[in-house]
Structure 1
Amino acid sequence: MGRGAMPDDMGRGTTPQTVAEALLADLARRGTRRIWGVPGGGSSLDLLLGMPRYGIEFVLAKHEGAAAMAALADAELTGAPGVVLTTKGPGVGNALNGLACASLERAPVVLVSDGFTPQQLGWVTHQVFDQRAASAPYVAGYATGVDAAEVAALLDLAERERRPVHLDLTGPAARRVPGIRTARHVAEKVAANLGHGAALLLNARRPVLVAGLEAAEPAAAAALRVLAEALQAPVLVTYKAKGVLPDAHPLHAGIFTGGTLEAPLMEVADLILTIGLDTVELILQPWRYAAPVVDIALRPFAVRYVTPAATLHGALAASLRSLHRAVHPMDWTLEEIAAHRATAERALAWEGDRGVSPPDIVRIAQQEARRAGLAPRVAVDAGAHMFSATAFWQCDAPRDLLISNGLASMGFALPAGIAAALHDPGRGAICFTGDGGLMMVAGELATAAATGAKLVTVVFNDGALSLIDIKQQSRQLPPAGVRWTRPDFTRVAEGFGLRGFLATDPDSYADALRAAFAHDGPSLIDVHVDPAGYPAQLRAMRG
């Protein structure tokens, strides 16, 4: 993960002549390399014209919501603003789920939409609704591109708040003289720290570290690892924090969701350090632990699952370093941590007797990738299959696994996987998606084909909304509204120009993976899944 400056030969010696050019120049300076979307006929055309000059590639998506998901993944991978470009009216409406996702994943995504001029609004009603009001629940700010300074302030806001923003840009505004871009340095408010985290740590013998999405920033992840190793204390990670401590590290204790799986470890802790843990990452269950909590985060959260005994708010790396004076020998052993990790993995594992079990789908994929000398990132969709994907895919670094956790939106993994594959073609990517999630964004298979993305889409095809099906069964209700005839995704993929493979058992799945990894371009593997173990996984994770 990292951001690059604008190449020296892009825009050299030139001054932006319009607001559209000023926006592109500013995005390029911040490290944005792609804009995703479905353009309209207004300001979109001015932006498309200027993108090559500033080294920005446009990726034509098939739905604005998917484009926003891809922009979200870009933002997480680069640290720069992700950008989605839409027409007015239905384009804005279609993008809103992606904006909601970016808001709850804490990602700086910029929606640039065509807008209506005041004159047009005096007589036009076609496609007209209040676009500002429509995006307001999801964005930190809104602007109309008055000048370059307003645009810069909007981008600053997105990066500072780690939330999406909306630039509603008409054609005349896009072509306006931009004025002077002035830096607007706004001091970020830092909350007062509460209590004394170091004193609590000094008195602890069995602390547990819980890493969340804010810890995925490189400096924070590095500082967390140093502290964990100094303490020799176990580390649990949320889905968004996978790779903050490598899965293979002896202090890695597994996944934390706020559920049942991690409870045996948490219940014997005498102190809990939540490090960059955003409350949006936790499931809908009350906090169940009595140990005091030290909340180490960028800023306080308005809604909490637990009232912390102490807080350290500000840059995570600095906060973590400040705790080193409290380091002393702890009572944990590596054998105890390994035993917890192994117990959790056993609770989620099962061998299928029909098709391929979800744990095997994930493990075999990583096994075959390693045999091929590859280290792909993975993008994981919402659904029952995510339990296996997050538990059994081994991550070495932050953002090795991309997932919608705050919104938990289906339809995320395919556009995010395309973004990951284009971000680092040498690594490529795997998209783990359910059949339901894929059907929501199947048109983006055409986007994968058009971009030549080195992406393997693995479909957990069980003919159902499995997670909802499980909940329906748990209430002993008759099946209704959650199952369908399994689609033939192999033929769908081939129709869009991908290589398609069908896998009905572990051997045919491994063969398909080898062929897909050898293929120079996107492919899809339609895996017939044995869903029998999903209910037990759900009970193990959430009780």
Structure 2
Amino acid sequence: MNFPDSTTSLGQIETKTTCLSLTSGKTCGEALVTLLEGYGVQCVFGIPGVHTVELYRGLDASSIRHVTPRHEQGAGFMADGYARVTGKPGVCFIITGPGMTNIATAMAQAYADSIPMLVISSVNARRQLGSGDGRLHELPSQQGVFAGLTAFSHTLLSADELPQVLARAFAVFESARPRPVHIEIPLDVIVAPARGMQIAPVVLPARPAADARAIADAANCLSGAQRPVILAGGGAVGAADELRELAERLQAPVTLTINAKGLLPCGHPLLVGSTQSLPETRALVAEADVVLAVGTELGETDYDVVFDGGFAINGRLVRIDIDAQQLMRNFHPDLAITADAQQALAALCATLRERPPAPVREGWGARRVAATRAAVTAGYDAPTLSQKRLIDTLTSALPGVIIVGDSTRPVYAGNFTHDAPAPRSWFNSSTGYGTLGYGLPAGIGAKLAAPDRPVVCLIGDGGLQFTLPELASAVEAQVPLIVLLWNNFGYGEIRKYMVERDITPVGVDIYTPDFIALARGFGCAAVRVDSPEVLVSELQRATQCNVPTVIEIRESNWFEQVPA
């Protein structure tokens, strides 16, 4: 997180603080906007309503950009995509009641994937809370509903509390396991005077550092290993340099979760990929005498997506995680280190630099990785290889592309086959909470976060129908996102799942509209393609557009044109 650190910036904040202290007309809602500016917030997603208009009173005069989605779920997914690209919290202004229940799915996805998100909502006036009087947008306990989807959910009972509660939120985002935070402000508190409120951002705590003794123990364990393996997750996304140095020093094969793709560069000889659910990679992990798991839940959707319980760790397990409780879930460690991944890996590297590499291990990791990758690739079926060609076409035609995926067949294939060139370049909703409709709004958020990079939303026809109106949001916000629509005319993956279990498919062959006509009606460019050659030319054309481009690929046509 970047905070004001120059004399000028701090002076500006001090001036605002003085002005706010002396001007009785300033409200809590206006102070909130100034505080968010101080914490580096540049964009807010929300749909104004009668219960939130007072949050907007100070927005026009601020430096914060407001983006209006067409549904609060879209606001949450946009904030999620923005946060995954920047590492900073995505911020939403959400109305009481239905606005909050609408955004709940997006908050749950962010919670499952440890994504920083700040959701600021209104709520009924303090004297009306929990009254059951049937007030507009009333819930029995809005705060209670969202406590389970957040690091914390707080009801602001006085304007004076605001700086402290925001400081707690940004401490979570900066210094702990990042997850959504919900702050609800009663209608009478939003308009309350903010006299004397200190609105400069506070100094946030440092991320937890590893105990020196635990680092020494981990170094001893790893340096003595003959067959070490590293399992890295999204919690290590800021530690690419340290992870690479450690892997090369240990000559250890490295597997990456979906949210960790890119931590080792494409083609690195120690990169296994994200195939922990496949037999060949499971065998590699099972034969390791020491496994280092860093910033990973060791959860089902990264290690057992085939749901057979076949992933096993037989060697000693060293775990590093910023969340102490997570260290005790799924696989119990022989050595547990509560620490920020970057700090802990840097300390491990520093310790191991003082020791000579184990000669018996020289070259073992690269040879084992090459054999594993070859065996994995040999097992891919024709549809998987054809969809791999689709993703390879995207990355070759659009250098530096960020691919934001939904729950759709090419994304499932890419989770196995694709090696991202850099961190924060491949993410999707098929892991963790696993929702549909994520890709389009999350892609909008990603493009807003990285306007100079190409961003592709890879989504299926079923998922796109969940959040299709967000095309209007992208046009309105002038976000030239590329939407690559994989159309198999229904819920194809679920249909296949039902057939494999001898269940007559019901509810999966849904009506599919004319997406090209719909996209053009929203003001987007739109085209249908069937081959890699045409796709490349249309991708290049799309990068020159100032509006979103929808490129439809019909699955059957692609498979005919691009056999394995």
TM-score bracket relative to the smaller structure? 0.7 to 0.9
Give the whole-Å Cα distance in 2 for the aligned partners of 1:191 and 1:117.
45
1:84 to 55, 71, 92: 92
Q: Provide the residue aligned with 2:64 in structure 1.
A: 56
The number of residue pairs the alignment matches comes to 522
Partner secondary structure for residue 85 of structure 1: strand
Q: Provide the residue aligned with 1:252 in structure 2.
A: 271
2:222 to 181, 197, 201: 201
Q: Provide the residue aligned with 2:23 in structure 1.
A: none
Give the whole-Å Cα distance in 2 for the aligned partners of 1:99 and 1:505.
37
8 A contact 1:376–1:429 mirrored in 2: yes
Structure 1 residues 48 and 80: CA distance shift in structure 2, 3 A: same
Displacement of 1:418 after TM fit? 0.7
Q: Cα RMSD over matched residues?
A: 2.9
Q: Provide the residue aligned with 1:73 in structure 2.
A: 81
Structure 1 residues 257 and 454: CA distance shift in structure 2, 3 A: farther
Q: Provide the residue aligned with 1:163 in structure 2.
A: 179
Partner secondary structure for residue 519 of structure 2: helix
8 A contact 2:114–2:179 mirrored in 1: yes
Partner secondary structure for residue 274 of structure 1: strand
Q: Provide the residue aligned with 1:359 in structure 2.
A: 388
Pair 1:313-2:324 in alignment: no
Residues 442-453 of structure 1: pairs in structure 2 closer than 5 A:
442-453=468-479
Q: Provide the residue aligned with 1:350 in structure 2.
A: 382
Partner secondary structure for residue 16 of structure 2: coil
| Amino acid in the other structure paired with 1:297 | D
| Amino acid in the other structure paired with 1:253 | V
| Amino acid in the other structure paired with 1:310 | L
Segments of structure 1 that go 5 or more residues without pairing to the other structure are: 534-543
Give the whole-Å Cα distance in 2 for the aligned partners of 1:172 and 1:347.
62
Give the whole-Å Cα distance in 1 for the aligned partners of 2:269 and 2:190.
54
8 A contact 1:138–1:164 mirrored in 2: yes
2:369 to 337, 340, 355: 337
The more displaced of 410-419 and 45-54 is: 45-54
Give the whole-Å Cα distance in 2 for the aligned partners of 1:311 and 1:202.
17
Give the whole-Å Cα distance in 2 for the aligned partners of 1:291 and 1:495.
58
Give the whole-Å Cα distance in 1 for the aligned partners of 2:268 and 2:278.
23
Structure 1 residues 229 and 29: CA distance shift in structure 2, 3 A: farther
Partner secondary structure for residue 454 of structure 1: coil
Displacement of 1:350 after TM fit? 2.4
Partner secondary structure for residue 35 of structure 1: strand
Pair 1:240-2:240 in alignment: no
Give the whole-Å Cα distance in 2 for the aligned partners of 1:466 and 1:434.
9
The more displaced of 254-263 and 268-277 is: 254-263
The more displaced of 404-413 and 236-245 is: 404-413
Residue by residue over 1:438-497, the C-alpha shift from the partner in whole angstroms, topping out at 9 and shown as x without a partner, is 110101111111112121110111122233222212212222222224432111111111
Give the whole-Å Cα distance in 1 for the aligned partners of 2:296 and 2:33.
33
Pair 1:518-2:544 in alignment: yes
Give the whole-Å Cα distance in 2 for the aligned partners of 1:333 and 1:202.
14
The more displaced of 498-507 and 235-244 is: 498-507
Residues 97-136 of structure 1: pairs in structure 2 closer than 5 A:
97-121=105-129, 123-129=133-139, 130-136=141-147
| Amino acid in the other structure paired with 1:144 | T
The more displaced of 269-278 and 76-85 is: 76-85
Partner secondary structure for residue 415 of structure 2: helix
- TM normalised by structure 2 equals 0.85
Q: Provide the residue aligned with 1:484 in structure 2.
A: 510
Q: Provide the residue aligned with 1:503 in structure 2.
A: 529
The more displaced of 430-439 and 304-313 is: 304-313
Displacement of 1:437 after TM fit? 1.1
Structure 1 residues 154 and 338: CA distance shift in structure 2, 3 A: same
8 A contact 2:530–2:557 mirrored in 1: no
| Amino acid in the other structure paired with 1:210 | L
Displacement of 1:257 after TM fit? 4.4
Q: Provide the residue aligned with 2:481 in structure 1.
A: 455
The more displaced of 331-340 and 378-387 is: 331-340
Displacement of 1:237 after TM fit? 0.4
The more displaced of 93-102 and 458-467 is: 458-467
Segments of structure 2 that go 5 or more residues without pairing to the other structure are: 21-25, 560-564
Displacement of 1:367 after TM fit? 2.2
Structure 1 residues 506 and 376: CA distance shift in structure 2, 3 A: closer
Displacement of 1:519 after TM fit? 2.3
Q: Provide the residue aligned with 1:30 in structure 2.
A: 39
Q: Provide the residue aligned with 1:386 in structure 2.
A: 411
Give the whole-Å Cα distance in 2 for the aligned partners of 1:507 and 1:495.
27
Give the whole-Å Cα distance in 1 for the aligned partners of 2:462 and 2:242.
39
Give the whole-Å Cα distance in 1 for the aligned partners of 2:308 and 2:2.
37
2:16 to 9, 14, 17: 14
8 A contact 1:195–1:310 mirrored in 2: no
Residue by residue over 1:107-159, the C-alpha shift from the partner in whole angstroms, topping out at 9 and shown as x without a partner, is 22111112100344554434311211221210122223322334324423542
Pair 1:143-2:161 in alignment: no
8 A contact 2:448–2:479 mirrored in 1: yes
- TM normalised by structure 1 equals 0.88
| Amino acid in the other structure paired with 2:292 | L
Give the whole-Å Cα distance in 2 for the aligned partners of 1:351 and 1:115.
49
Give the whole-Å Cα distance in 2 for the aligned partners of 1:524 and 1:335.
42
Partner secondary structure for residue 148 of structure 2: coil
Structure 1 residues 342 and 496: CA distance shift in structure 2, 3 A: farther
Residue by residue over 1:170-223, the C-alpha shift from the partner in whole angstroms, topping out at 9 and shown as x without a partner, is 333122233335859779888985993222212211111111010002xx2221
Q: Provide the residue aligned with 1:299 in structure 2.
A: 323
Residue by residue over 1:56-107, the C-alpha shift from the partner in whole angstroms, topping out at 9 and shown as x without a partner, is 1110001111111111222222232211111111111101101111111112
Partner secondary structure for residue 104 of structure 2: helix
Displacement of 1:26 after TM fit? 2.7
Partner secondary structure for residue 93 of structure 2: strand
Give the whole-Å Cα distance in 2 for the aligned partners of 1:322 and 1:446.
48
Partner secondary structure for residue 231 of structure 2: strand
Residue by residue over 1:338-374, the C-alpha shift from the partner in whole angstroms, topping out at 9 and shown as x without a partner, is 332233234336269xxx94222212222222xxxx4
